[in-house]
Amino acid sequence: MIHKRYIIIVLGMALSIAWGHAQTLSNNKLRRGLDDFRKQTRKELEDFRKQAMNEFISFVRNPWKDFEHTAPVPVPEEKPVPPVVMPEEDEQKPVEEKPIVIEEVVTPKPPQPQPQPIEPIIEVPVEVQKYTAFTFFGTQCKVRFDSDIKLTLDGASNNNVADALQTLTGNSYDNMIIDCLALRDSLQLSDWAYLQMLRSLAYSIEGERTNAATLLMAYLYMQSGYKMRLGANDNRLYMLYASKHYIYDHVSYEIDGETYFGIEQLPTRLSVCNVEFPNEKPLSLYINTCQRFTSMPSDIRRITSKRYGGFGIEASVNKNLMDFYSTYPTSFIDDDIMTRWAMYANTPMDITTSNLVYPQLRRQMEGLSQLEAVSRLLNMVQTGLEYEYDDKVWGGDRAFFAEESLFYPYCDCEDRSILLTRLVRDLLGLKCILVYYPGHLASAIEFSEGNVKGDYIMYKGHKYIIADGTYINAPIGQTMPEMDNATARMIVLD
Mean pLDDT of 35-40: 51
Q: What is the pLDDT of residue 341?
A: 96
Mean pLDDT of 320-336: 96
Strand partners, 269: 68
Percent over 90 (pLDDT), the chain = 80
Per-residue pLDDT reduced to its tens digit, 377-386: 999 999 999 9
Give the chain's mean pLDDT: 91
Query: Is residue 490 pLDDT above 90, yes or no?
Result: yes
Mean pLDDT of 364-393: 97
Distances, alpha carbon 267 to alpha carbons 232, 240, 251, 257, in Å = 9, 11, 8, 20
User: pTM for this one?
Assistant: 0.90
**85-111+287-492 in CATH: which number?**
3.10.620
Per-residue pLDDT reduced to its tens digit, 103-154: 999 999 999 999 999 989 999 998 888 999 999 999 999 999 998 888 989 8
Mean pLDDT of 177-187: 98
Mean pLDDT of 430-436: 98
- Radius of gyration, CA atoms only, the chain: 30
User: Sorting pLDDT into bands at 50, 70 and 90, what band is 10?
Assistant: very low
34: CB partners within 8 A, 6+ apart:
none
Q: What is the pLDDT of residue 142?
A: 97
Per-residue pLDDT reduced to its tens digit, 271-317: 999 999 999 999 999 999 999 999 999 999 999 999 998 899 999 99
Q: What is the pLDDT of residue 418?
A: 98
Q: What is the pLDDT of residue 3?
A: 40
User: Sorting pLDDT into bands at 50, 70 and 90, what band is 43?
Assistant: low
Q: What is the pLDDT of residue 9?
A: 38
Mean pLDDT of 369-388: 98
Q: What is the pLDDT of residue 92?
A: 82
Distances, alpha carbon 257 to alpha carbons 113, 242, 243, 244, 253, in Å = 22, 11, 12, 12, 10
Distance of alpha carbon 457 from alpha carbon 466, whole angstroms: 8
Distances, alpha carbon 298 to alpha carbons 292, 322, 383, in Å = 16, 10, 22
Query: Is residue 430 pLDDT above 50, yes or no?
Result: yes
Strand partners, 240: 229, 262
DSSP letters along 152-210, please?
----SSHHHHHHHHHHHTSGGGHHHHHHHHHHHHHTT--HHHHHHHHHHHHHHHH-TT-
Q: What is the pLDDT of residue 1?
A: 35
Q: What is the pLDDT of residue 487?
A: 82
Domain with CATH 3.10.620 in the chain: 85-111+287-492
Q: What is the pLDDT of residue 423?
A: 98
Residues in the chain: 494
Nearest to 370 by CA among 419, 423, 424: 424
Q: What is the pLDDT of residue 170?
A: 77
Per-residue pLDDT reduced to its tens digit, 158-175: 999 999 999 998 788 999
Query: Is residue 32 pLDDT above 70, yes or no?
Result: no
Q: What is the pLDDT of residue 37?
A: 47
Query: Is residue 42 pLDDT above 80, yes or no?
Result: no
Contact 376, 395 (CB under 8 A): no
